[in-house]
Structure 1
Amino acid sequence: MPDQAALAATGAAAAIVFGAGAFAWLAGRWAGPMIAGLWQRRTGGQSEGMIPRACALVRYLILWPVLASALRFYPWPPLASFLLGFFAALAAALVIRNIVRGLNLSRWIAWTLALFLFVAILADALGGLDNVTRPLDALAFTIGSRRLSLLAILQISIALLALYAAVKLINQLIGQSLKHADALDPTQRLLTQKLLAIATVAIAFFIGIDLAGIDLTALAFFSGGVGLAIGFGLQKTFGNLIAGIILLMDRSIKPGDVISVGESFGQVNKIGVRAVSIVTRDGKEYLIPNELLMTQEVVNWSYSTRDVRISIPITIDYACDVRLAQRLMIEAADASPRVLETPKPNVWMKAFGENGIDHEIRVWILDPEAGIGPVRSDILNRLWELFKENGIKVPAPQRAVRIEGWPIDPAGGSSGPAPAPAT
């Protein structure tokens, strides 16, 4: 049975837990929406996983250090230490879980890191980690000259998971910071983000090797046949990576450009490590490898300017008033809302065709990403109404057939139609 002093200390610990929890709850309710709004404005809604977790993160980030400080600065009896340690460990685990889930990482990663932190903090509160680490370290086996224990495996696994989460968090913070770098244009921001992401992954790779205790000389096999095979296997991947960086450096293709590659036509949505994402007008998204954009012919409709000229063929009947028809074509083009006033719409007479006089309406638009088909359709619809009002006819295909004579019947008579009776 605990003595009176232990009971009093446990009561005080419970009061600290309750008071800190109430304060953290009020602080989260007050500061959480403000932080969520600030995060929303800073990120533009790109990190939606963090926004609904803002209130919870504020609560647990306050509760964790308060309880940890209370645990450290006073020699609590075992029951009080367990009470403070349990809730401090729980708050810390929930902080890690919410951050990892806010980064859109897998649930198992979040729960693994949270469980490890919970056990570590609680064990430390109950007298140190030796009671946990000693049995785990005893379960070991030897590989070559290296001793590998269950404790070492757990430490390496947790360190790598934490490193992976840290890399993703750093990349997100870099991306959000570059969005507010007004001195850089969108292409320079994307290029800087890609280069910093590659540098972050490279640094994390070497940190992971160091945490795992791997001797860098063990990587010498990459210079041999295995490394050569891996190099050939990753040739396309590295080729696409370098091609993407080159595309961003020379600015030949940028996010937001309207391009056509072969049969694919659409707006560049994203330039990734491996491929460029192109969104078409019908909502389809094509992933085109970066190397293809370096080796194939690409039509960039908005490379130097976003102005695009559209040609609309139209044919009128030979019997129509040509000048009137041309004025109506200009009128229909001017009335279309997406057609630019400068350069002005123009009409060219192209040829005297088989069925009528061929013309071509030429107009300029500023927003090719919105599609050129709707502009053609709008002008043709307006022109159809104007033609009907003014008696301008669009000819139908015609064919003239000339009969030189009818075939002769073998019986001696003509197989053609009988002559008309004489009158």
Structure 2
Amino acid sequence: MQEIITLLASWGMVIPADQLNLLAVAIGIAFLAIAMGLGWLLSRLAGTHLSGAWERVAGERAEGLGPRMVRIVYHIVVALFLATAFFALEWWTYTDLILGFGWGVSAGYLVWHIFRAVNFARWTAFGLGFFTFALILINSVGGLERVTFIFDRIGVDVGDTRISLLTLLTIAITGVALFAIVRIIHRVISHSVNRASGLDPAQKLLIDKLLTIAIMVGAFFIGIDILGIDLTALAFFGGALGLAVGFGMQKTVGNLIAGVILLMDRSIKPGDVIEVGESFGWVNKIGVRAVSIITRDGKEHLIPNEILMTEEVVNWSYSSRDVRVHVEVGVSYRCDIKLAQALMRQAADESPRVLSSPKPVVWLKEFGDSAVVFDIRVWIKDPEGGVGNMRADVLMRVWDKFQEHDIEIPFPQRDLHVKEWPEGKPEALRDTKSEPPGPKPDTA
């Protein structure tokens, strides 16, 4: 800082030695004010545009990052300006302290907003922001080397490898940072894939899954490179671990491969209405391990992908969403059969979910023991809306029309013929008409 004192002296401003601390504080505060003003200006100019651009790029996956974009730009500008000023010259201690404090606060808030925007828990984002602030502040007062030295001493040596607290902190910071970056990139890619008009839902989901796997693999190798881990030294251990994991996770890997195959051959797609065993509903999501099926009761069944590959699955909407539904109705032998048939056809036509093409038909199915049985055959195009409720709607309309035209719906009746009682006629069946009313005379 002797250069600054010499420059001020050439301008005729001689700073007494006891006032140098005030000058150091004033310079630090001046840089802080300039940084805050510049950050406010650029965040207002660029933050709104960047927020709109992020909403367009990420769409429904933008979540909390868009509304925070103005504050993120503000803290980026302030942190970069103060960091540049901090490393530009060898400042006085008080100047370094003020610059480092402002830089740390801005960087901490920046980390807080970014990790909150990607749905990290509040306490996790606060911890990461505070750690960033403390790290920069310690570095500004020249204590970072001492702290890293202490952290490096807390550890053990495993062969030629040193495992210390500093190593674990470095791995944790790298992992968290890469995780946040991967989530942000995945949002952009997922929205871009979903906006592609030439792909059906199954192809979009397949591309999304493959790109997600590629991003995660790329982030893993980038992290390995940043940490400087030598994979050749872990080849034997990695092979043994991979073999153990392979045996333990063969079901998981099988489900993963089955899920990819389901998406590739497009036999089951999100939105399809399927029936697997006792589960009936529409496919909500095809995940890495299982397919999510939402039933009409609102329950969500998770069916492993392997089951959909190896067991029988009824896909009600595989090639067409049109489904034919049968509704059986019985009428009395004494009613007008043709009128009943016309009323049933009319009731089916009036049901809102029944398609007009193909038209509903009513067939006489059989002459039953107690009724003439008809089969109402109708077509619907929304099986995910339920089949039982559609049958109930048709039956209610049939009931109303039968009541209006006195069409009888019979119920089973049986005549019982008794040839002989084992011990004479029971008391309850005696002909009481031949006996005088009142108490019986005493015959004793």
> Which range moved further: 301-310 or 112-121?
112-121
Q: Which moved more, 1:257-266 or 1:159-168?
A: 159-168
1:336 corresponding residue in structure 2: 351
Q: Does 1:184 align with 2:199?
A: yes
Residue 4 of structure 1 deviates from its aligned partner by 4.1
Percent identity over paired residues: 48
Are 1:114 and 2:129 matched, yes or no?
Answer: yes
User: Alpha-carbon deviations, 1:34-89, whole Å to 9, x = none?
Assistant: 65555455544344333443343233233222333333445543222221221222
Q: Secondary structure at 1:45's aligned position in 2?
A: helix
Is 1:203 aligned to 2:218, yes or no? yes
Matched, 1:355 2:362: no
The DSSP-based 3-state class of the residue aligned with 1:154 is helix
* 2:109 is equivalent to residue 81 of structure 1: no
Contact kept? 1:259, 1:301, Cα under 8 Å = yes
What residue is the counterpart of 1:145 in the other structure?
160
Change over 3 Å in CA distance of 1:134–1:359 after alignment to 2: same
Instruction: Return the letter of the residue paired with 2:354.
Output: V
* Partner residue in 2 for 1:260: 275
Query: Which residue, 54, 66, 91 being the options, matches 2:69?
Result: 54
Q: Specify whether residues 50 and 281 from structure 1 end up closer, same or farther in structure 2 by C-alpha distance, changes over 3 A only.
A: farther
- The reply on whether 1:238 has 2:253 as its aligned counterpart is yes
Distance in 1, Cα, partners of 2:412 & 2:41: 80
Partner SS for 1:378: helix
* One-letter amino acid of the counterpart of residue 218, structure 1: L
Larger mean Cα displacement after TM superposition, 316-325 or 252-261:
316-325
Q: Taking structure 1 as reference, are residues 38 and 170 closer, same or farther at Cα in structure 2, changes over 3 Å only?
A: closer
In structure 2, the partner of 1:386 is 401
Kept in 1, the 8 Å contact 2:366–2:372? The answer is yes
Change in Cα spacing, 1:114 to 1:243, as seen in structure 2 (3 Å) is same
Shift in Å at residue 109 of structure 1? 4.5
Structure 1 residue 214 displacement after superposition: 4.1
Deviations 1:210-234 (A, max 9, x none): 426243342323545x543322111
* Distance in 2, Cα, partners of 1:23 & 1:376: 68
Query: Which stretches in structure 1 are left out of the alignment for 5+ residues?
Result: none
1:228 corresponds to which letter in structure 2? Answer: L
Cα distance in 2 for residues equivalent to 1:363 and 1:42: 45
Residue 322 (str. 1) matches residue 337 (str. 2): yes
Bigger Rg, which one: 2
Are residue 221 (structure 1) and residue 237 (structure 2) matched? yes
Q: Trace 1:265-414 onto structure 2 (pairs within 5 A).
A: 265-403=280-418, 405-409=419-423
**Alpha-carbon distance between aligned partners in 1 of 2:249 and 2:355, rounded to the nearest angstrom:** 48
Output the CA distance in 1 between the equivalents of 2:178 and 2:301: 32
- C-alpha deviation, 1:390, in angstroms: 1.4
Cα distance in 2 between the residues matched to 1:254 and 1:99: 34
Aligned partners of 2:155 and 2:162 also within 8 Å = yes
Alpha-carbon shift at residue 189 of structure 1 (Å): 1.4
Matched, 1:103 2:121: no
Amino acid at match of 2:164: S
Distance in 2 separating the partners of 1:357 and 1:2: 115
1:8-23, aligned counterparts within 5 Å? 8-22=23-37
1:289 Cα offset (Å) = 0.7
TM-score of the two chains, using structure 2 as the length reference: 0.84
What is the Cα deviation at residue 31 of structure 1? 6.2
1:174 pairs with one of 189, 193, 197: 189
What RMSD over aligned residues (CA atoms) do the two structures have, in Å?
2.9
Distance 1:408 1:275, change over 3 A: closer
Give the 3-state SS of the residue equivalent to 1:93 in structure 2.
helix
Most deviating of 362-371 and 31-40: 31-40
In structure 2, distance between residues paired with 1:94 and 1:169: 18
Tell me the equivalent position of 1:91: 106
Question: Using the alignment, how far apart are the partners of 1:360 and 1:44 within structure 2?
Answer: 49
Is the CA contact 1:311–1:361 (under 8 Å) kept in the aligned structure 2? yes
**1:178 & 1:370 partners in 2: Cα distance?**
28
Equivalent residues of 1:39, 1:51 under 8 A apart: yes
2:216 counterpart SS class: helix
CA contact (8 A) 2:284 2:294 kept: yes
Q: Cα distance, 1:359 vs. partner?
A: 0.8
Which ranges in structure 2 are unaligned for 5 or more consecutive residues? 1-15, 436-444
Distance 1:137 1:408, change over 3 A: closer
The number of residue pairs the alignment matches comes to 417
Deviates more, 1:199-208 or 1:79-88: 199-208
Query: Which whole-Å CA distance do the structure 1 matches of 2:391 and 2:425 have between them?
Result: 55
TM-score in terms of structure 1 length = 0.88
**Distance in 1 between residues matched to 2:396 and 2:69, nearest whole Å:** 53
TM-superposed deviation, 1:313: 1.0
1:178: Cα distance to partner?
A: 1.3
**Distance in structure 1 (CA, Å) of the matches to 2:422 and 2:356:** 66
- Is the 1:406–1:415 Cα contact (8 Å) retained in structure 2? no
d(CA) in 2 for partners of 1:144, 1:116: 31
Structure 1: how far apart are the matches of 2:17 and 2:166?
35
Q: Partners in 2 of 1:351 and 1:236 — Cα distance?
A: 50
Q: Distance in 2 between matches of 1:172 and 1:349?
A: 57
Whole-Å separation in 1 of the counterparts to 2:95 and 2:229: 38
CA distance in 2, matches of 1:385, 1:392: 10
Between the aligned partners of 1:16 and 1:205, the Cα distance in structure 2 is 39
Q: In 1, are the aligned partners of 2:83 and 2:103 still within 8 Å (CA)?
A: yes
Residue 381 of structure 1 deviates from its aligned partner by 1.8
Partner-residue secondary structure (3-state), 2:214: helix
Task: Quickly say closer, same or farther: Cα 1:336–1:3, change in 2 above 3 A.
Answer: farther
Deviates more, 1:121-130 or 1:283-292: 121-130
Q: CA deviation at 1:326?
A: 1.4
**Residue aligned with 2:327, SS:** strand
Q: 1:386 to 1:414 in 2, by over 3 A?
A: closer
